Amino acid sequence: MKHSKGDRNRILVVEDEPTISQVCQRTLTAEGFDVDIAVNGAIAQDMLDEKEYDLCLIDIRTPIMNGKELYQHIQEEHPEFADKVIFTTGDVLDEKLESHLKGSKRSYLPKPFSPDELRTIVKEVLEG
């Protein structure tokens, strides 16, 4: 996979809550990753079409285009990347959402999460 900045892994964080996106950016940058932030799925879709990423951390509930819709785009347009998606959600009790998460067979991180939990799941998915 080609990268624009040496051989550092590039991660796209799709998150509309500024506090969470800041925690993700600080934590992952400190681990040596290049991190881009998109506040919704539509912006993320454009970014994914323009750049190559090693991993995408997607909040399920973002405005304009939600995480499920973005994941569908990834499956259709970037199928080789679909296994490098981690979902985040603060709504783990929603039965439809739980069904989607199990059906996608993707890793997910319930909110709120700690920097250690974020580092661990990112490492697991990248080493996949």
Domain range enclosing 104: 10-127
Report the pLDDT value the prediction gives residue 24, as an integer from 0 to 100: 98
CATH number at residue 17: 3.40.50.2300
Q: Is residue 2 a part of any domain in this protein?
A: no
Report the pLDDT value the prediction gives residue 92, as an integer from 0 to 100: 63
Cβ atoms of 72 and 103 within 8 Å: the answer is: no
Q: What is the pLDDT of residues 55-86, one digit of tens each?
A: 999 999 999 999 999 999 999 999 999 999 99
Q: Is residue 84 a part of any domain in this protein?
A: yes
Domain count within the chain:
1
Helix (H, G, I), strand (E, B) or coil at 89: strand
Q: Is residue 1 a part of any domain in this protein?
A: no
Q: Is residue 5 a part of any domain in this protein?
A: no
Q: What is the pLDDT of residues 1-26, one digit of tens each?
A: 334 445 789 999 999 999 999 999 99
Q: Dihedral sign for Cα 80, 6, 50, 48, please.
A: positive
Which of 34 and 7 is assigned the larger pLDDT? 34
Report the pLDDT value the prediction gives residue 97, as an integer from 0 to 100: 67
